[in-house]
Amino acid sequence: MATKKKAKKTKPAAKKTTAKKAVVKKAAAKKSAAKKPAARKAASKKVVKAAAKKPAPKKAAAKANGNGHAFPAPSTAPWGQAGKALEGVRILDFTHVQSGPTCTQLLAYMGADCIKIERPGVGDITRTQLRDVKGQDSLYFTMLNGNKRSITIDSKNKKGIEILERLVKTCDVLVENFAPGALDRMGLTFERVHELNPRMIYASVKGFGPGPYEDCKVYENIAQCAGGSASTTGFRDGPPLVTGAQIGDSGTGLHLALGIVTALYQRNRTGRGQRVLCAMQDGVLNLCRVKLRDQQRLKHGPLTEYSQFGEGIPFGQATPRAGNDSGGGQPAWLLKCKGWETDPDAYIYFITQAPVWAEICDLIGKPEWKTDPDYATPPARLPRLRHIFDTIEQWTMTKDKFEVMDICNKFDIPVGPILSMKEIAEEESLRATGTVVEVDHPGRGKYLTVGNPVKLFDSPCEVKRSPLLGEHTEEILTQVLGYTDAEVAEIKTSGAITPPEKPARAEAA
Ligand code: COA
C-alpha cells in the first residue's frame, strides 16, 4: 500500500518497534494468563511490575488501545489534510453494469486508486446503454464510474492475461461481478490470485449465494423479487411491485464495500487477503428484514399496525403488501397536498407519532380526539387508522407539501414531502453538501452525479468525472506496472489492449 511511505515518514522505525514490542508483551501476558488461570494474578502482577520499572516514554508515537492493538499518535495535520481514508489502497476493478461499479466508485470516493479493466473497443456495456448524447458515454456509465482510471485489457489474450497478473500483484483488492464462473474461465480463480498475491482481497457480487440458483445470472429486479422486496411492496389488491431504489444492485454494492474495508482491516492483523462474497438476494433480504420480522409476528396474530387490520381484512400465510403503511411501530400514510390533482408529486408522508398526537389533533382541528377514548391512545387508534388519515388529509389538502412540512416541523411532527427527481436535482442544500455534484466531461459536457453519501470529516471527497474508455491504459502500463516504452510498443501490437484487428482486405494484401 502506498501509504506505507507516508506512515514511515511520520513514524520513526524505533518508535514503531517500541509500540510493537509493547503489544507483543501484552498479548503474550494475556496468552499465558488464559492458558493457566491460576497464574493469571501472577502474570498481571508481572506486567504491573514491568510497567513500574520502565515508565512509558513521554513522547510515545504509538500506544496500545484496550484490545492491545497499536495505533499511531493522532495526526496534527488540519482536518481534511491528512490524506484520504483509503489512500494507498489500489483496486483492480473488474466490475460492470451497476452493482460492482457502485461499490468501487464508493471506494474511489474514499480515496482508493481504482483501476477499471475494460474490454478493448467495447468497455463496460453501460457506456452505450440508455445513451442520451450521441456517441458519448451514457449517464448510466458516467454516474457509476467517477474517480476511476480506465485501462483496456483483453483478458482472453495471452499478453492480456500477463498484464492482468502483473496488476494482481500490485493491487490490494480485486472486485468483480461477472456471471458465475466467468473469472475462473479467464484463469483468475481465487486460488491463482491468492498464489500471485496472498494479500489480495477477492470480492464478488453474485446473484445468489451457494445453493440451487448459484449459477444464475441476475439483474436488479430479479434480486428484488428473490430477496422478498417485491412480494411486500405495492398495494394489497395489486401485483407485487419493484421499487425505484436499486436495492439489488447499488444496495449489494454497498454491502460489498463494507465487506472489503472490513477485510482490509482484518488484513492489517493477519497479513492475508480473503474472499468476500455478496449475493444480491442476501443484500435485498438484509434491507427487507422488517418484513421477515412481520412474517414471524403473523404466527401470533394479525399485524395490527397494517391498515388491513383496521379494514377487517384477514391476513394470509405471508407478510402482505402494505401500500404506504409505515414499516415501523408508528402508524403512517401518504397524504394528498394542495395541487395533487395536477402534480403527481403533491403528497406528504405523515407519521402519527404517539408523543405528538395532541399536537396533531390541534393542528387538524380535532382537539376532542385528545381525550376521546376511541382516539386518545395508540391501541385505540389502530382499528381507525383509515378514518384518522382521511381526516388528516382534509387538512393537508389545504396546503402545499412544503407548507405542511414547515408547520409540522414546528411541532416536531415527523412528515416528509414527496420530492421529485427534478426537485432533488435543483435542491441547493444537496449541492452544498456534495451529495449532488455537477461534473464536467470532455465528451458530453456537464452532468449531475451523486457524490459520496457517506461524509468523512477527515477525508473529504472530490468527485471527478468518469474516465474515457482506455484513457489511462499507457499511464497504468508504465507508471503502475513498470513496462518500458519498448514493452508497451510490443503490447500494442499483441492485441492485448486493442480490439482484435479486422482481417486485411484483399487489395491491401
Ligand atoms: N476481455 C475479454 N473478455 C471479457 C473482458 C475483457 N476485458 N471482460 C469481460 N469479458 C468476458 C467475460 O470473460 C465473459 O465471457 P465468457 O462468458 O465467455 O467467459 C463475458 O465477457 C461476459 O461476462 P458476463 O458476466 O457473463 O456478462 P453478461 O453481460 O452476459 O451478464 C450479468 C451480465 C450482470 C447478468 C452477469 O454479469 C451477472 O449475473 N453478474 C453477477 C450479478 C450481478 O452483478 N448482477 C447485477 C449487475 S448490475
Q: Dump the DSSP string for 159-210.
A: HHHHHHHHHHHH-SEEEE-PSTTHHHHTT--HHHHHHH-TT-EEEEEESS-S
Atom of ligand 1 nearest to the CA of 217: 39
Question: Is the confidence at residue 5, as pLDDT, over 50?
Answer: no
Question: Is the confidence at residue 265, as pLDDT, over 70?
Answer: yes
Question: Is the confidence at residue 491, as pLDDT, over 60?
Answer: yes
User: What is the distance, to the nearest Å, from the Cα of residue 133 to the centroid of all Cα atoms in its chain?
Assistant: 28
Ligand 1 centroid to Cα of residue 125, in Å, is 10
Ligand 1 centroid to Cα of residue 170, in Å, is 24
Question: Is the confidence at residue 40, as pLDDT, over 70?
Answer: no
The grid coordinates of residue 474 equal 499507457
91 strand-pairing partners: 114, 173
Torsional sign, CA 128, 129, 132, 137: negative
The grid coordinates of residue 310 equal 383496521
Ligand 1 neighbour 277 (Cβ under 6 A): no
pLDDT mean across residues, the chain: 88
- Give the closest residue (by CA) to ligand 1 atom 6: 119
| Contact of 458 with 82, CB cutoff 8 Å | yes
Active site residues per annotation:
249
Ligand 1 neighbour 153 (Cβ under 6 A): yes
Ligand 1 centroid to Cα of residue 293, in Å, is 35
Atom of ligand 1 nearest to the CA of 98: 48
Ligand 1 neighbour 203 (Cβ under 6 A): no
Vertex 372: Cα angle to 370 and 374 (nearest 5)? 115
62 — pLDDT class (breaks 50, 70, 90): low
- Residue 280 falls in which region: left (phi positive, over 0), alpha (psi -120 to 50) or beta: alpha
The grid coordinates of residue 64 equal 496500545
Ligand 1 centroid to Cα of residue 214, in Å, is 15
Backbone angles phi, psi at 49, to 5 degrees: -60, -50
33 — pLDDT class (breaks 50, 70, 90): very low
More confident residue, 63 or 333: 333
- Give the closest residue (by CA) to ligand 1 atom 8: 119
Q: How far apart are CA 85 and CA 109, in angstroms?
A: 9
- Give the closest residue (by CA) to ligand 1 atom 23: 178
Ligand 1 neighbour 99 (Cβ under 6 A): yes
- Residue among 371, 369, 340 at smallest CA distance from 352: 369
More confident residue, 505 or 400: 400
Ligand 1 centroid to Cα of residue 255, in Å, is 20
- For the stretch 423-445, pLDDT in tens is 999 999 999 999 999 999 999 99
Ligand 1 neighbour 219 (Cβ under 6 A): yes
Average pLDDT over residues 474-494: 97
pLDDT at 26: 39
- For the stretch 141-185, pLDDT in tens is 999 999 999 999 999 999 999 999 999 999 999 999 999 999 999
Query: pTM (2 decimals)?
Result: 0.86
Characterize the bridge pairing of strands 275-279 and 201-206.
parallel
Atom of ligand 1 nearest to the CA of 94: 8
Atom of ligand 1 nearest to the CA of 252: 44
Q: How far apart are CA 24 and CA 230, in angstroms?
A: 52
Ligand 1 pocket, mutate which of 144, 152, 155, 178 (most atoms under 8 A from CB): 178
Question: Is the confidence at residue 37, as pLDDT, over 80?
Answer: no
Strands of the 347-351 sheet, one edge to the other: 332-336, 347-351, 415-417
Ligand 1 neighbour 298 (Cβ under 6 A): no
**What does the DSSP 8-state code read for residue 314?**
P
Ligand 1 neighbour 94 (Cβ under 6 A): no
72 — pLDDT class (breaks 50, 70, 90): confident
Lowest mean pLDDT among 25-39, 65-79, 401-415: 25-39
327 — pLDDT class (breaks 50, 70, 90): confident
Ligand 1 neighbour 489 (Cβ under 6 A): no
Beta strand residue intervals within 283-374, DSSP E? 332-336, 347-351
Tell me the CB-side half-sphere exposure of residue 199, using CA atoms within 13 A. Answer: 14
Ligand 1 centroid to Cα of residue 341, in Å, is 46
Torsional sign, CA 364, 367, 371, 374: negative
